Amino acid sequence: MTSTTSAPTGRQTAPRRPARRPRRPLRFRLSRIAAWAVLALLLAGTLLPFYWILRTAFSTNSALFTGDQSVLPPEPTWVNFRRVLGLASPEEVRAAGGSGAELQFWLYLRNSVVFATLVTVGQVACCAMAAYAFARLHWRGRDAVFYLFLSTLMVPPIFLLIPNFVLLSEVGLLDTFVGLVAPYFFMTPFMVFFLRQFFLGMSSELEDAARMDGAGHPRIFLRICVPVMAAPLSTAAILSYVSAWNEFMWPLVAGSDPSVRVLTVGLSAFRSGQPQAAPDWTGLMAATVLGALPVILLFLAMGRRIVDSIRFTGLK
Amino acid sequence: MSEHSERTRPRYGGASRWRRAQWSAGMSERWQRVRHHPGAVAAMFLLPAGFGFVVFYLWPTIRALWMSFTDYNLLRGSGDWVGLQNYQDLVADPLFWHSMRVTALYVVLNIGVQTALALAMAVMMDRLTRSALVRGVLVLPWLIPQVVVGLLWLWMLDPRLGVVNHVLDWVGIGGQDFLGSPAQVIPTLAGVNTWRFVGYTALLIFAGLQMIPRHLYEAAALDGAGEWRTFWRVTLPLLRPVLALVLVLSVVGSFQVFDLVQVATGGIGGQPGGPANSSLVIYVYIFRHAFNFNNAGYAAAMSAVLAVLLAAVTFFIMRGLRGSRSDLA
């Protein structure tokens, strides 16, 4: 292998390199620099708002209301984070111009974690099983059932919101975690589709070998497919965690009670919560930073996997 | 390879069935047949997802359709059949048409700017860098909750204290009302949503660009085609199926904007959809009827119309761009 491939490439690159240089004129290099400049500008435009959240979160409200717009926070302080986390003393809170207590951060954070975790566990497990049935088993009507599942992708969520709300109120599960999680727990059409793509691409050799050894389908699924599919399954888990964390409309109607209220709903209540008073921007931005932090940490740890997964969301 | 797997994959008959029957001689023959019947195995694997599908997708779809023909009320928890009344009301409801127009304007502004910008970004990335860091940064706004995005921009666009107006003042354009102005609120929301989704869209298109064989670009360059010409004659035609999919995803998503409007409009303490209904997108209007006015039947009728509209939009985009067929094949 080495002898056959390296010889011709060596022959090709040697004369080409010097020949190529004169074909890249100054104009080409300038346009490349210009393109980089545009890209850098776009990256800055993406990141600057994030910086502004941080800058606000480290400022004091009184400094904000003087209209100071310096790049660094005028009087850097941790008080907003302490306030949101309930660690600040009452005097500090009064001085900072808002209690931040109406945002029960720890409670909502716990609720968000419970909600997103339950959704992720259920969704990935159930959808992986369904994907196995759609991709690795042969049975009559398989494709028809799959397209029936897939067709619900076209149903707008608000169409399902009202009947699902009614259903949960009939069985008395509104404002409970069970009710909040249930519509996402068993499947989403996207997740079934996403995982099926990967199960379709799996080589059947291991599966055949296991079947030769007498393994049944449950064992093939658990001992072969799940380990082989570990990477796509964890990508699926990240995607479903992030989207559950960001969910807003359903928790707004089905989980308005503080005992199950998630962070997105809690943060949105801030806006309608204080009609006359000057809004507590610094406290809100501190809460926002803390609320987005889990997702950002997940992203820092698994960023490449999320980025790579995007190509599978629709293009195959 | 394919021949090999075809040969060794047993299709629940023949040799493997025989072998299994030999090994499991101790078990009852009947149980074996049930356990290994392809339909039974599939049913077992589909049980949880199928339950969720029937209870939370299929049944609600039927029920919402039924509700749209009743005067269903969420407080009462029941409704009486009213026939086509809701649909007749909808046709005669000026606010429904207003919200459709508002939504359409939002979609056109958002998708127009976002798609063009994303395409440019994807082509630039394709030429300049494969860096995962660059892609990661671009996709970051997509990962943040829409609620957070809304609050962030509500603050940055605050007419008095927001940093954007400060910069505009400094440049000499002067402060704008943005989310507080009936004329500016929809373009502003479209801009915010573009900020959130443009990187994600660019990555989808970027993934499509990667599938175009490099030798086509080399052939175009040998024929003396410049960058501009190559883009229009090679890149864009071959990207068509990907663009169709991206358009479907982003148009359908954009029609359903809710979180952002709910959080960022109406000012502090105001009614979402404001000022004066100028940002009353269809989702907010439906939501208002279902949960604030207790007209769940009417809300269901409006969502049914929306569902049909979205299906039609998808169909026309896929057909118009011949999205299911690639020139590469």
- Taking only the tens place, the pLDDT of each residue in B115-173 is 999 999 898 888 888 777 888 888 888 888 888 898 889 888 887 778 888 888 888 77
Q: Is A24 on the interface with B (CB under 8 A)?
A: no
For residue A24, what pLDDT band results from cuts at 50, 70 and 90?
low
Would an 8 Å CB–CB cutoff place B299 in contact with chain A? yes
Over the stretch A246-256, which tens digit does the pLDDT of each residue have? 999 999 999 88
A296 class by beta-carbon count within 10 Å (0-12 exposed, 13-18 middle, 19+ buried): middle
Mutate to test the interface with B, among A51, A162, A221, A274 (most CBs of B within 10 A): A162
Is A235 within the bounds of a domain? yes
| Residue B172: other Cβ atoms inside 10 A | 6
What pLDDT, on the 0 to 100 scale, is given for residue A212? 86
Cβ count within 10 A of residue B131 = 10
Q: Which pLDDT value is given to residue A20?
A: 47
Instruction: Report the chain A residue with the minimal C-alpha distance to residue B200.
Output: A310
**pLDDT given at position B111:** 94
Q: Is residue A282 scored above 50 in pLDDT?
A: yes
Asked whether residue A40 is assigned to any structural domain, the reply reads no
Structural contact between residues B95 and B280, judged by C-beta atoms closer than 8 angstroms: yes
Q: CB distance from B213 to chain A under 8 Å?
A: no
Task: Please compute the mean of the pLDDT values over residues B84-88 and round it to a whole number.
Answer: 90
Question: Considering the domain boundaries, does residue A142 fall inside one?
Answer: yes
* B131 reaches A (C-beta below 8 A): no
Interface of A with B in 194-253 (CB under 8 A): 203-205, 208, 211-212, 214, 216-218, 221, 242, 245-246, 248-249, 252-253
Name the least confident of A3-17, A69-83, B69-83, B271-285: A3-17
B8: which chain A residues are within 8 Å (Cβ-Cβ)? 204-205, 208
**Chain A residues 153-172 with a CB less than 8 Å from chain B:** 154-167, 169-170
Query: From the candidates A20, A42, A127, A193, which should be mutated to test the interface with B, based on the most B CB atoms within 10 A?
Result: A42
Nearest alpha carbon to residue A124 among B52, B207, B59, B38: B52
Mean pLDDT of chain A: 80
Measured between CA atoms, how close is A270 to chain B, in angstroms? 9
Q: Is residue A16's pLDDT more than 60? A: no
User: For residues B168 and B174, is the Cβ–Cβ distance under 8 A?
Assistant: yes
Chain B nearest CA to A198, separation (Å): 17
Q: Domain for residue A72, yes or no?
A: no
Nearest chain B Cα distance for residue A89, angstroms: 26
> Are A90 and A156 in contact, with CB atoms under 8 Å apart?
no
For residue A47, give the nearest of A253, A296, A279, A252 by alpha carbon: A296
pLDDT of residue A123: 95
pLDDT tens digits, B280-315 = 999 999 999 998 888 899 999 999 999 999 999 999
Percent of chain A with pLDDT over 70: 80
Average pLDDT of the residues in A287-300: 83
Q: Is the pLDDT of residue A101 over 80?
A: no
Average pLDDT in chain B: 83
Mutation pick from A108, A132, A153, A159 vs chain B, by most beta carbons of B within 10 Å, is A159
Choice among A93-102, B10-19, B240-249 with the minimum mean pLDDT: B10-19
Q: Is B195 within 8 Å of A267 when comparing Cβ atoms?
A: no
Shortest alpha-carbon distance between residue A90 and chain B (Å): 25
User: A–B: how many Cβ contacts below 8 A?
Assistant: 303
Put simply, the chain A residues between 85 and 104 with a CB less than 8 A from any chain B CB are none
Residue of B nearest to A241 (CA): B143
- Taking the CA of residue A281 and the nearest CA in chain B, the distance in Å comes to 7
Number of folded domains that form chain A: 1
More confident residue, B327 or A290: A290
Higher pLDDT, A3 or A172: A172
Point out the least confidently predicted range of A16-25, A185-194, A199-208: A16-25
pLDDT at B19: 59
**What pLDDT is recorded for position B18?**
58
Report ipTM (2 d.p.).
0.82
List the single residue in A with minimal CA-CA distance to B43.
A133
**A236 falls within a domain:** yes
Q: Is the pLDDT confidence value at A313 over 60?
A: no
> Which whole number is the average pLDDT over B11-20?
55
Range of the domain at A216: 105-262
Please indicate whether, in this complex, the C-beta atoms of B147 and A164 are within 8 angstroms of each other: no
Q: Where are the alpha helices (DSSP H) in A136-256?
A: 142-151, 157-170, 177-185, 189-201, 205-212, 217-220, 226-228, 230-246, 249-254
CB contact under 8 A, A185 and B38: no
CATH topology of domain B86-320: MetI-like fold (1.10.3720)
Q: What is the CATH number of the domain that holds A222?
A: 1.10.3720.10
The predicted-structure confidence for B287-296, as pLDDT tens digits, reads as follows 999 988 888 9
* CB-based contact B49 A129, cutoff 8 Å: yes
- Check pLDDT > 80 for residue B269: no
> B34 in contact with A at a CB cutoff of 8 Å?
no
Residue A13 pLDDT > 80: no
What distance in Å separates residue A53's CA from the closest CA in chain B? 7
Of all residues in chain A, the percent with pLDDT exceeding 90 is 22
* C-alpha to C-alpha distance for B142 and B161, rounded to whole angstroms: 26
Residue B45 C-alpha, separation from nearest chain A C-alpha, in angstroms: 5
Give per-residue burial for A172-202: e unless 16+ CB within 10 Å, then b.
ebbbbeebbbbbbbbbbbbbbbbbbbbbeeb
| Reported confidence tier of residue B51, pLDDT bands at 50, 70, 90 | very high
- Using CA coordinates, name the residue in chain A closest to B67: A163
- The per-residue pLDDT for A67 is 64
> Mean pLDDT over residues A217-235, rounded?
87
Hey, are the CB atoms on A292 and B246 less than 8 Å from each other?
no
CB contact under 8 A, B147 and A208: no
pLDDT classification of A91: cutoffs 50, 70, 90: low
Contact B143 A296 (CB under 8 A): yes
H-run or E-run covering B240: helix B236-255
Other Cβ atoms less than 10 A from the Cβ of B186: the count is: 23
**How far apart are the C-alpha atoms of A237 and A243, rounded to whole Å?**
10
Chain A closest CA to B150's CA: distance in Å?
Answer: 9
Residue at A6 is within a domain: no
Name, of A35-44, A85-94, A158-167, B16-25, the range with top average pLDDT. A158-167
pLDDT at A6: 38
Q: Does residue A175 belong to any structural domain of this protein?
A: yes
Least confident span in A61-75, B56-70, B84-98, B211-225? A61-75
Query: Looking at CA atoms only, how far is residue A33 from chain B in angstroms?
Result: 10
pLDDT in tens, A170-182: 899 889 999 999 9
